[in-house]
Chain A
């Protein structure tokens, strides 16, 4: 593989955000994925969300597992530290990184093989542990790097490029996340950036474990007729149940009074999220209702997208552990080592 560096020249008229960065500053290396891959659209959405939220790129740690999706952290946020870990184990590494320094934004990128097969255990436990993170699964129902085997999220009855029909039930990551206590659960579609960017922004602002399942068609192995993860199929069957109009505090003052079908959800970072209901009777803060709706729509062959569930009062693992507000990796020796006098007392107690 060749190593391509993007030119560092910036157009002088590129707009800068509040922290002085242009959108280009959030980009990474040139993608080596196939032309038209849904994953590249997700990378672009991450770039846009981070730029719009005025996040300093070096304050982000991006982690991934193994697979096509897990390669993408190299293609965005080039000024952030990244970690391409082992297959299916991104959640644990991210958990450790988060424990070491709670001040950074943790972005976990994974795929359906990485999170629904080999890594389903780690996915589940990161959700129930409430690690503050944005967990994005780039879900295409197929193993791309190993050339087209079904993944565990492939629908039963879906056809592979070679014509094989999948006979196994799909793992529903959304259902699992809801059931396991994730406090922000959303589904997006790589072909709908207008919906995806606010979903990512909402996840970034969230105070706990935020999970976004992004349907991301694989142009090389899973974009044919008979596949339920093709662009055509997803465009036809995706039904948004909500729309986020993300607003920060400064803009909130100018915002118009909320009409009846809009819910305002405060975020952990002090900003406010405005959520527009698109589905009758839908309440995104009711976990059980969200589970029912997603199940019901799936039974009808529809793919529910949008913000499906959010707990505005979510807290994270650090709150549960009552850790100090400062990052653990920055504590001094004096704060960590009890010293010789304490040791003398401990010795005395062991005689």
Chain B
């Protein structure tokens, strides 16, 4: 097990190195740089002044040097300086991370709480009215993009209640109730879509397992429905569901752009878009690396969970 984790972590390091190259190159391929943006906000451009600022920011150096410099910064824990804000990048990024992690986690909690039971009920009551209703509900979740749902929620609230959730981040230590209200609606909007996916995977996976011989044997032994479904069938049907949950969580870390924007939550994804528009390389590079690390870790955790859920899975050296 330990050897397996070490192997996976080494592979993860290689993957991150590859990612760093891709991020670095893609950012430089985008037209324009921070200096062009600065001049755009000033409404003119001066080639000589541009050169001076590029030198000041260190983006006049060869790309290889800039790349190695960034890697060195990562290794030493110094994420460089935000070009836009003239502050250490970490200082800019730090407050964003908990917001996104919380929103993603809360969304996944909603998704699992809604999707898993619905999937089980839908499979157990296959081809009944309830099954059809749940399938329509889940299809609707897949069909409605969360940003659209978010906007509809906001417009609905303001039209009918003349109220919307707070638009400035409320810390849980300051006002837990208001904080919960602020996160509840976006988490529901995002979680609904993910729940639809989880529901459909749970249903199909459970239906497949329910046809297995050992389930028939369990029924024949006179086990109750609850034990057959929840202990024997669901445990084996959960493997693909856990995979989907892991992928969804990783996706949400970088994929909450529009939801964070619509609900005005100061998270990683919303900030990332602004940083890209400003070509704020230190912030963008490090935020994308952060997302990559979360994706890799999520996958690792999912793989570890396989062993817990299925005793047949063994991690070789």
Q: Do A and B make up one complex?
A: no
